[in-house]
């Protein structure tokens, strides 16, 4: 039944068109990044060979993914792709995931070595994430602070008032007037002298001819400047962008009415577009037409325009830092925060590296780290010789010997000691980990010396010389391995494979291996390869999934055995693995705590970075960003409080994206677009057909009879093409 249920779940998942499904995904490491703690996940390369990661949109930055080890019956871990390297994906199947606490109410983390099924949405979650987060703030602020509540919620659009900042403002239209046209006009007509006049009196404005605008464009300018919410619709080629630039030019020339008002802080224009390309094009046009050399901030790192390089936020920050003009308080706070993050990062890296080395068969834990997880009786048994022998001997030598890492070919050793009567006793003393105490050691030395007394001056025969060498072997073994010459590792957490190998090599040399064969130390590579291979094999045995071969009862018996030296090596490895698992569980809890601390510090760092950005943006005339950028910088924009927001290609933007960019400080919203030409494009088709998510705020307001002006003079198309437009629009073009 379980297999059948699993099959049904997999089939249902595969039928969901907007999901990418991956099987056998595992977690292999934890690391740190500028976004917080990230987990390194690995795909099954055999199942993704056909994907071209250089061009694929799969697993890009910001993609929303979820994991489950039980096909989503009881477990669902939610994360976001925070980094991917095409080469790592292609060769190893590696990518980085952040299990973001903002994405779900309960945070869960993957377990190392566990196999997961992974689902990825085809929608770009990063662009929605900040919008959804921004929308949540409106509930906290209350209904009274919802921007344009009467128009957006209650659709009270019959009478649209003037923008608040323009009600009593005296403005100058000179910048919009064509000087050649002005000269030709009758000087006695006050309309031909576009000096200061009031917005509330359109009769005093310059004429359409003076502004070089056609009738519909002139009406659009009047609508935009006399309504706090203005809709300008323009079919292709009718001058939407041209008109938007004209409005920006006029507003900049009259910035005294909205930017540097007395006793108020600066409140810039916010310019928003759906795509980076449209934003760059619009902003370039504004900068050229208005002859701007400063006062513009282009937010976002995806601009491809060289002419906008001096206005990019990151370049402005760098310039201010080089001139030492950045806010010093913010700067020092960032430096201090960076130090905190670096300390946490080092701690996390240390814990992560330790677990990585252990579970990849590259090291073993030392006694100092394991002692808290070992049965006290077993710890006494493991270190019994430490109390009997020289107290300076390295504790980890006993653990290494108990695990069998010092075991060797018995025939080689016996062959060197074949003429000694005490071979078995001495062999047992060394192989079982120096089980003789100090008195036994001295007694054994005396026995050896009494058995064959060598001539220490000049040996007269080969036999005497051989006996001298054999005695030297035994004396060296006792002297060196009961002294501090082995390795002083009492303060270490790990014994890495290379260090273990050095210990074994030293041990074999001191044990006197000199016969021809695989253990001959002086022959270099031959010995190293043999020892190293043996060491790797033993480590792999220790870290094999031994626990799966035993029941809990078996493990309990081994854990409570009366003497751990009587266990066979498989049982010893299982018991050691059990100790390591206890250590691992404690370290994973430590990682979770450090994870939370690190994420908190990263969030504080991001807040400081936003303060730094805010200090630059608040003094600009124009802030330009995409809709995604505006939602990401929602808190900053709320503090700066732009009075004027201009949205280009507004009919292409989701309603939520525009609403999330608004704040209670916004007094003037100008939407320019064409819902007949472009509409929002939801990633899931059902959301468009059943929930009208493809209807923009621009289109909804038009459908609710909000006053708008449609540009109807086609300037760009050939006549034979422009005549086709009348079939798509109600009004004559």
- Give the span between the Cα atoms of 365 and 374, in whole angstroms: 12
β 229-233/668-673 pair status: parallel
Q: Which of 264, 259, 222, 216 shows the shortest CA–CA distance to 240?
A: 216
The pTM of this model reads: 0.73
H or E, element range at 439: helix 438-451
Assess whether pLDDT exceeds 80 at residue 28: yes
- Of the two residues 360 and 642, the one the predictor is more confident about is 642
For residues 80-101, one letter each, b for 16 or more C-beta atoms within 10 angstroms of the residue's C-beta and e for the rest, the string is bbbbbeeebbbeebbbbbbbbb
Tokens at residue 573, please?
A: 């490895």
What's the CA gap between 272 and 650, in Å, rounded?
9
Pairing of strands 116-121, 64-68: antiparallel
Beta strands in 310-451 (DSSP E): 363-365
- Choose between 317 and 49: higher pLDDT: 317
Cβ contact 410:515 at 8 Å = no
H/E segment holding residue 546: none
The DSSP secondary structure of 79-110, one letter per residue, reads: EEEEE--HHHHHHT-EEEEE--TTT-SS---P
- Contact status, residue 72 vs residue 16, Cβ threshold 8 Å: no
Q: Which residues pair with 66 in a beta bridge?
A: 78, 119
Q: Match 């450090």 to its residue by tokens.
A: 594
Among residues 588, 586, 583, which one has the least CA distance to residue 367? 583
* pLDDT at site 465: 41
- Which of 398, 416, 552, 526 has the alpha carbon at shortest distance from 472? 416
**Stronger pLDDT, 227 or 493, i.e. the higher one:** 227
Residue 694, Cβ density class (10 Å: 0-12 exposed, 13-18 middle, ≥19 buried):
middle
pLDDT beyond 90 at 118: yes
pLDDT confidence of 679, banded at 50, 70, 90? very high
Higher pLDDT, 709 or 327: 709
Residue-level pLDDT at 536? 66
Mean pLDDT for the chain?
Answer: 78
What's phi and psi for 197, nearest 5 deg?
A: -150, 175
E strands in 308-466: 363-365
**Angle at CA of residue 246, ends 241 and 250, nearest 5°:** 150
pLDDT confidence tier of residue 227, bands split at 50, 70 and 90 = very high
Tell me: the pLDDT tens digits for 438-478? 343 343 334 333 433 333 333 343 344 444 333 333 333 33
Residue 538 is predicted with a pLDDT of 67
Report the run of H or E that residue 126 belongs to, with start and end. Answer: helix 125-141
Distance, in Å, from the CA atom of 698 to the CA atom of 650, rounded to the nearest integer, reads 6
Q: Which pLDDT tens digit goes with each residue over 583-626?
A: 888 888 888 888 888 888 998 999 999 999 999 999 899 999 99
Count the neighbouring beta carbons within 10 Å of the beta carbon of residue 500. Answer: 25
Strand segments (E) across 414-527: 494-496
DSSP, residue by residue, 163-209: PGGGTT-EEE-GGGS-HHHHHHS-TTSGGGS--EEETT-GGGSPPTT
Backbone angles phi, psi at 407, to 5 degrees: -65, 150
Phi, psi of 104 (to 5 degrees): -150, 160
pLDDT at 66: 93
d(C-alpha 661, C-alpha 313), whole Å: 18
The count of other CB atoms within 10 Å of the CB of residue 3 is: 7
- 456: which 2 tokens? 């220490």
Q: What is the mean pLDDT of residues 310-317?
A: 93
Confidence of residue 194 (pLDDT cuts 50, 70, 90): low
Average the pLDDT over 311-331 and give the result.
88
Is residue 506 within 8 A of residue 394, CB to CB? The reply is no
Residue by residue, DSSP assigns 257-321 as GTTS-TTS----EEEEESSHHHHHHHHHHHHHHHT-SSSEEE-SS----GGGGGGBHHHHHHHHH
pLDDT-above-70 percentage for the chain? 76
Exposure string of 549-561, with b = 16+ CB inside 10 Å and e = fewer, is: ebeeeebeebeeb
Going from the N-terminus, what domains does the chain have, and what CATH number goes with each? 2-122 (2.40.30.270), 149-313+626-727 (3.40.50.300), 361-454+463-543 (no CATH)
For 200, other C-beta atoms within 10 Å of its C-beta total 12
CB of 495 within 8 A of CB of 400? Answer: yes
Tokens of 173: 């239209």
Tokens for 250? 């006029």
Say whether 31 sits in a helix, a strand or coil: strand
* pLDDT (average), residues 329-336: 91
Separation CA 205–CA 191 (nearest Å): 6
Query: Would you state the structure tokens that stand for residue 313, as one six-digit string?
Result: 């936020």
Q: What is the pLDDT, as a whole number, of residue 636?
A: 93
Provide the token pair at 163: 């923008």
CA angle, 602 then 93 then 589, to 5°: 45
474-478: long-range pairs with CB below 8 Å, 24+: 474/417, 474/420, 474/426, 474/444, 474/445, 474/448, 474/512, 475/445, 475/448, 476/510, 476/512, 477/430, 477/510, 477/511, 477/512, 478/441, 478/444, 478/445
- For every residue of 595-630, DSSP letters joined together read HHHHHHHHHHHHHHHHHHHHHHHTT-SEEEEEHHHH
- Alpha carbon distances (Å) from 267 to 161, 171, 229: 21, 18, 18
Whole-number pLDDT of residue 607 = 92
What angle, rounded to 10 degrees, do the helices at 569-617 and 525-543 form? Answer: 80
**How many helices (H) does the chain have, and how many strands (E)?**
28, 17
- Residue pLDDT, tens place only, 364-391: 888 888 888 898 898 888 887 666 555 5
565 membership: H or E segment, kind and range? none
Above 70 in pLDDT, residue 540? no
State the DSSP code for 725.
G
Residue 259 has pLDDT above 70, yes or no: yes
Token code pair at residue 94 = 């590696």
Determine the average pLDDT of the residues in 251-271. 88
Q: Tell me: the pLDDT tens digits for 389-438?
A: 555 567 787 888 888 877 644 333 333 333 333 333 333 333 333 333 33
pLDDT at 25: 94
Nearest C-alpha neighbor of 581 from the set 353, 402, 365: 365
Cα 543 from Cα 499, distance rounded (Å): 18
Mean pLDDT of 238-249: 93
Mean pLDDT of 497-524: 57
Angle at 688 (CA atoms; ends 685, 694), nearest 5 degrees: 125
Contact 718, 710 (CB under 8 A): no
Taking 90 as the threshold, does the pLDDT of residue 231 lie above it?
Answer: yes
């Amino acid at each position: 039944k379980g297999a059948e249920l699993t099959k049904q779940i997999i089939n249902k998942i595969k039928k969901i068109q907007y999901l990418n499904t991956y099987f056998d995904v595992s977690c292999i490491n934890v690391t740190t990044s500028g976004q917080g703690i990230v987990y390194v996940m690995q795909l099954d390369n055999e199942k993704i060979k056909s994907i071209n990661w250089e061009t694929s949109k799969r697993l890009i930055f910001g993609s929303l993914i979820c994991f489950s080890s039980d096909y989503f019956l009881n477990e669902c871990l939610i994360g976001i792709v925070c980094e991917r390297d095409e080469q790592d994906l292609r060769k190893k199947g590696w990518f980085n995931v952040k299990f973001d606490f903002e994405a779900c109410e309960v945070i869960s983390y993957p377990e190392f070595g566990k196999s997961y099924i992974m689902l990825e949405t085809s929608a770009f979650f990063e662009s929605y994430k900040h919008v959804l987060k921004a929308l949540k703030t409106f509930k906290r602020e209350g209904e009274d602070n919802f921007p344009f509540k009467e128009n957006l919620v209650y659709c009270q659009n019959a009478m649209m008032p003037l923008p608040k900042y323009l009600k009593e403002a005296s403005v100058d239209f000179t910048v919009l007037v064509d000087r050649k046209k002005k000269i030709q006009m009758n000087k006695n007509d006050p309309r031909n002298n576009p000096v200061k006049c009031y917005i509330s009196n359109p009769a005093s404005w310059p004429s359409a001819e003076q502004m070089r605008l056609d009738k519909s464009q002139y009406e659009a300018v009047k609508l935009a400047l006399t309504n706090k919410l203005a809709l300008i619709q323009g079919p292709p080629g009718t001058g939407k962008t041209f008109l938007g630039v004209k409005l920006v030019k006029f507003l900049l020339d009259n910035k005294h009415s909205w930017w540097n008002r007395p006793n108020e802080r600066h409140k810039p224009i916010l310019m928003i577009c759906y795509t980076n390309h449209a934003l760059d094009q619009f902003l370039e046009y504004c900068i050229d037409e208005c002859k701007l050399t400063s006062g513009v901030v282009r937010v976002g790192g995806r601009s491809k325009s060289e002419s906008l390089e001096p206005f990019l936020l990151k370049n402005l920050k760098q310039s201010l830092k080089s001139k030492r003009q950045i806010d010093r308080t913010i700067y020092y706070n960032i430096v201090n925060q960076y130090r905190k993050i670096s300390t946490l990062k080092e701690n996390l890296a240390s814990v992560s590296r330790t677990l990585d080395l252990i579970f990849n068969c590259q090291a073993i834990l030392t006694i100092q780290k394991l002692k808290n997880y070992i049965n006290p009786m077993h710890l006494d048994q493991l270190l019994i010789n430490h109390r009997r022998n020289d107290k300076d001997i390295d504790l980890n030598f006993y653990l290494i010997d108990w695990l069998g890492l010092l075991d060797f070919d018995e025939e080689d050793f016996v062959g060197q000691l074949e003429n000694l009567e005490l071979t078995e006793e001495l062999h047992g003393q060394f192989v079982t980990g120096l089980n003789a105490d100090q008195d036994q050691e001295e007694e054994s030395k005396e026995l050896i010396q009494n058995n064959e007394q060598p001539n220490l001056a000049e040996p007269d025969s080969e036999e005497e010389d051989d006996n001298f060498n054999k005695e030297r072997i035994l004396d060296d073994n006792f002297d060196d391995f009961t002294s501090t010459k082995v390795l002083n590792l009492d303060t270490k957490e790990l014994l890495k494979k290379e260090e273990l190998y050095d210990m074994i090599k030293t041990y074999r040399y001191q044990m006197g291996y000199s016969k021809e064969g695989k253990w001959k130390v002086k022959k270099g590579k031959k010995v190293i390869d043999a020892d190293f291979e043996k060491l790797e094999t033993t480590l792999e045995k220790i870290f094999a999934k031994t626990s799966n071969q035993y029941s809990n009862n078996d493990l309990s018996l081994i854990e409570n055995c009366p003497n751990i030296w009587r266990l066979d090596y498989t049982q010893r490895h299982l018991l050691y693995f059990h100790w390591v698992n206890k250590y691992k569980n404690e370290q994973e809890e430590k990682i979770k705590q450090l994870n939370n601390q690190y994420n908190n510090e990263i969030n504080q760092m991001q807040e400081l970075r936003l303060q730094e950005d805010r200090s630059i943006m608040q003094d600009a005339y124009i802030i330009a960003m995409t809709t995604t950028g505006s939602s990401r910088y929602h808190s900053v924009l709320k503090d700066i409080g732009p009075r004027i927001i201009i949205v280009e290609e507004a009919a292409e933007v989701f309603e939520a994206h525009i609403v999330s960019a608004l704040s209670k400080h916004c007094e003037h919203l100008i939407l320019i677009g064409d819902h007949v030409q472009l509409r929002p494009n939801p990633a899931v088709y059902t959301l468009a057909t059943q929930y009208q998510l493809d209807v923009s705020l621009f289109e909804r307001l038009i459908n609710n009879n909000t006053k708008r002006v449609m540009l109807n003079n086609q300037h760009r198309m050939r006549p034979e093409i422009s005549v086709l437009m009348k079939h798509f629009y109600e009004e004559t073009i």
